[in-house]
Every structure is written in C-alpha cells, then in structure tokens.
Structure 1
Amino acid sequence: MIELERGGLDQKALLHRAAEMAATIFKLPEDPELLTSFEQAYAESERELEAMRARGAEVYAKNYTEQELKAVVDYLASPIGQAIHRKRLASMPFPPRDLSPEEKAADAAFNESPTGVSMKAKKAQVATEVAMAGIEINSIIIDRAIEIHCRRTGSCPKKERPAG
C-alpha cells in the first residue's frame, strides 16, 4: 500500500512542498537555494526514509485488517485507482476537481463499500500515528538540509522549534 501510494508522487513537487512546509513550520528565512539543499538531504537520507516507510507499514498493519489492506491495494493498483490517486496527489491539499465521471463513480464505489467505510473511520487515527512516527525522522532530514545549505551557500538559517 505504501509503495502504491508513493508511486504516483512527483518527487520534485514533494520535495518542494517539504521545503516550503519546513520553512513555514520552523520559520526559516525564504531562500530559493533551500530546495537544492533539501534535494541533497533527501538523497542522503535513504536509511531514515526507509525507517519512516517501515514505521508507516507497521501503523497500517496495526490499524487495518488484512482484508482492508488487500482491497485498497487492489484499488490503488488498478488503472482507474492509479489515475484517481495521481490526480489527488497533484491537487493536494484540495480534492481533485478533474475526476472524470467514471473516476468519480469508481472512487465513490470504493469509499462507500463496507471496506471503504471501515477504512475511513480509521483514517484520522492512522494519519496521526504516521505523522507522529515521521516527526523525528523529518526533523533529522530538515537539520541535514540546513547543514548542507550552510556549507553550500554560507547562509546558515537558525531553525526555530514550533511552540507546543
């Protein structure tokens, strides 16, 4: 499921969003060169990213039944599921507006099925657990990106921790 979800990701767009989010959350000064530093940090963070994927898989396995996981994998692996997923990722954080009538019907059929309803009820819990598992690893990668940026540009932004 994790690999299928990531399969439609535009890695460049994902890195751009990660850099923007880190800059906002940690109040980093605006710097177009920061994206290059994030790209390098992610390239150097395969071990951390693998740990994050493994933790996500544990969260999914703990919260979803085998039947639910099989159903969503079948859905995401289908051509229509992949098309919907790519559009959803491209429009984040908003719902995609360009789903065809066939895609809307397929999406509704899955989401309104007993499996879809059951998974939706667990979605907030799963998202929270996955996010919490990723906070520490993302912080390590952000620190790495700032260090790279400092070495590369001589500009060493101070990362402020969010309140709370």
Structure 2
Amino acid sequence: MHTKPPIARFANGECVSGGSVIPAVGLTGMYRIPRDLDLSPVVGEFTTQVRVGQFDLQFTFGSVNFAVQSPVNLFRNGEIVAHWEDGRWPDAGFYEIMNTAVRRCDIKGDRLIVLEFDNGISMHLEDSSDQYESMQITFEGSPSPWII
C-alpha cells in the first residue's frame, strides 16, 4: 500500500513533499485552522448537495467549497443527530442541512469549525490529525485552497 508522505511548510512559503522542495504556489495554510481564515461568506448561504467520496465528504455553501476527510458530526440541542467518517455513508440526518441557511460560523480555537443552521443543527468540522490533512476549503475565484 502506497501512502503519501506529509507535506511540510517553511516560513518562507516553500513546501517539502517526499524530500523535494516545492516553491510556494499560493497555498495559504496547512494543519490547524489558521486565525486569518474568514468563513463569513458562508453565512446566509445553503447547500443543495452533500457529496460522498470514499475518503471525504464534500459540500458547498455559496462560493465556499469544503472537502473534509476527518469525521463530521451534526448536533441538535447538544445531541449528535448524524455522523460521517471515511469509508462509510453519512447518516440520513445530513438531509436536514440541505437547503437550510447557515446562520452563523465560528472557528473555535485551531481545531474546530462550527456551522450553525437556521433549523437549529450545528455541523462540527474538526482538524483531527497532526500528521495528515483533515480538510480543504476553497473559495471561488481563489487559486489555491486552505489546507487544514
């Protein structure tokens, strides 16, 4: 089984992958949620699709695309109502976030993004790995993703 080596980032923006230095190409962040990540464009937006890959869950809110490889949980009143993790289908509760506007988006420290929806559901996107990417966030019109 072949696995990709993790990518390291230097302060000057250069990346190392598999022992080779790659010049910076506009990557804006990797591992942990950066303080300057502005997710305000998702507020007021909704998704019409939850896309399931073998190792990721993908969705779009307006001009912001998410591809998440770490577990995703939906909560209502503090109780988990749906769960997804790689290698399985998401629970049916994910239907409840479709066509429902995002009321609020909070970044809780450097490990958790919480999207709150108008129907009382909150989605927790967690950076759960110190070694591998947990998610990529792409803004329409931006040449490179935020890699977390």
Please indicate the TM-score interval, normalised by the length of the shorter structure: under 0.3
Q: In proportion to residue count, which structure has more strand?
A: 2
Point out the structure with max Rg over C-alpha: 1
Higher relative contact order (CA 8 A, sep 6+): 1
TM-score by length of 1: 0.23
Q: In proportion to residue count, which structure has more helix?
A: 1
TM-score by length of 2: 0.25
